[in-house]
Amino acid sequence: MTEYPGTTGLILNEPLLWEKGKQGRSGFSLPRRDVAPQPLSETLAGDGPDFPQLSEVDVVRHYTRLSQWNFGVDTGMYPLGSCTMKYNPKTNERQAAQPGLARAHPMLDDDLCQGSLLLMYDLERFLVEITGMDAATLQPAAGAHGELAGMLIFYAYHKSRNAPRSKIIVPDTAHGTNPASAALCGYRPVPIKSSDQGVLTPEAVAAVMDEQTAGIMVTNPNTLGLFEENIRKIADIVHAKGGLVYGDGANMNAIMGIVHMGQIGIDVLHLNLHKTFSTPHGGGGPGAGPVCVLKHLEPFLPVPRVIKENGRYRLSEDFEYSIGRLHAFYGNVGVLVKAYSYILSMGAENLKKASQLAVLNANYIKERLKDTFHLAYDRPCMHECVFSDKLQQPYKVTTLDIVKRLMDYGFHPPTIYFPLVVPGALMIEPTETEAKEDIDLFIESLKSIAAEARDNPELLHAAPTGCRRKRLDETTAARKPILTG
């Protein structure tokens, strides 16, 4: 019999820290007082904060137990589509913790942090080389922040030509943050539909592209896990009307070292270091969303920029057309160190191989499950594949029930109900991390769940049953949220 990772171990209860505290307990010994007591001014007195009194072991057990209720990529397979939950190698943490990097104060003189500056300068060059772009900024703190930077660059570019524009084309297969980023920058997003093949057609873009449109935001590979194969033609249509092409690079894990983004017509591209380049996310962040541009947009990159003069590095704000500063100091530098560590550990050939394996894993899952679950678009996919609950509907079983049951089998659920173009979507991204044995177990779990859906749907409606918290009432949580402790 197949042995799945999910089992029922002993799970320990743990109350809130406030319920655990007892008067007089302490986890810290204050040093002996060596000054005379002084009365406190009445104006400074008041009720202290409501902190529980706890011993050290109380606190350690509390957080250890909570961590055991949790599930992360260090625990098991985490196939959350669109999120690239690949393993975060521990060497990254080790490098980022090196005192020379970890303790460098952001206000140090350039002369005293040449190492950090070199690292940032080189990381920019690596990202530019991996993507086929010309220049980069490391400042944006997340993917959507990178999108906003990209839109500000679009705006600055059109303004510099004395021809400001008002609209941005956003396809229905783009990431959900794209229209919001465009709108935040004052552009009106113009939605367009993908074809029955799940990709954009040049005709759909040509129908709306005009001289009031600043450009298009394309997620490639798109949120259906499909490569936008018409991208070059689409870019030509947009460029012919004076527009720019933004590439949402959140799905770059499928195409590292394989697709030259500059040559397929992308003018601005953001990367998610916390996805493609193995830095932690999903509670372990923060993120980093560097933006790469082609030469003609380099003058607009945010400041400060790292420059190299006579073998020395320094930060410079001296860029007349820059969109300005996007982040305090120079972005989330600790995250940059981890991505730099990853890129150097892997090397060019292995980065490419990681992408190839990520795509192979997704296609393997797609082929082995397409008779069990309805496959939204039956064609070769990139790094993720999208199923739906269509075949399970006769049993009154939904996508939510299926993935809740998957938790009992010991896997993190895939992304659900996204992308919106597929009703009841079940979006699986295995990444290159998983070995074939683990992927096979995942596939067997989903096949077993499909059989349960037919024979015993109540099992799915009640799932998860093996977790510390059972089926949560998400509706009441959303309608009547309690936001205080």
Is residue 347 a contact point for another protein (CB under 8 A)? no
The number of residues that bind another protein (CB under 8 A) is 11
Of 280 and 419, CB closest to another protein:
419
Q: Which of 302, 252, 254 lies closest to 272 in space, CA to CA?
A: 252
d(CA 273, CA 292): 13
- Least Å distance, CB 414 to another protein, is 15
Of 274 and 404, CB closest to another protein:
404
- Least Å distance, CB 475 to another protein, is 4
| Binding pattern for the stretch 421-450 against another protein, x by CB under 8 A and - elsewhere | --xx--------------------------
Of 196 and 474, CB closest to another protein:
474
> Are 443 and 435 within 8 A, CB to CB?
no
d(CA 63, CA 54): 13
d(CA 414, CA 449): 14
Determine the 3-state secondary structure of 270 from DSSP.
Answer: strand
d(CA 441, CA 233): 41
Kindly report the CA angle at 418 between 414 and 420, in degrees rounded to 5?
160
Q: Which of 426, 425, 410 lies closest to 466 in space, CA to CA?
A: 410
Among 350, 352, 417, 447, the residue binding another protein under the rule CB under 8 A is 417
- Least Å distance, CB 474 to another protein, is 5
| Binding pattern for the stretch 368-407 against another protein, x by CB under 8 A and - elsewhere | -------------------------x----x---------
Exposure string for 77-94, b = 16+ CB within 10 A, e = fewer: bbbbbbbbbbebeeebee
Contacts with 422 (C-beta within 8 Å, 6 or more apart), sequence order: 224, 376, 386, 388
- Least Å distance, CB 424 to another protein, is 8
- Least Å distance, CB 224 to another protein, is 16
204 to 83, 190, 399: CA distances (angstroms): 28, 12, 31
- Least Å distance, CB 470 to another protein, is 17
d(CA 453, CA 431): 27
- Least Å distance, CB 70 to another protein, is 22
| Binding pattern for the stretch 463-482 against another protein, x by CB under 8 A and - elsewhere | -----------xx--xx---
d(CA 375, CA 371): 8
- Least Å distance, CB 314 to another protein, is 46
Of 319 and 417, CB closest to another protein:
417
Of 185 and 422, CB closest to another protein:
422
d(CA 221, CA 275): 14
Of 29 and 475, CB closest to another protein:
475
Question: Is 395 buried (19+), middle (13-18) or exposed (0-12) by CB count in 10 A?
Answer: middle
Of 254 and 400, CB closest to another protein:
400
Q: Which stretch binds another protein (CB under 8 A): 167-175, 341-349, 364-372, 415-423?
A: 415-423
Is residue 418 a contact point for another protein (CB under 8 A)? yes
Residues of the shown chain interacting with another protein in the complex, contacts defined by CB under 8 A: 393, 398, 417-418, 420, 423-424, 474-475, 478-479
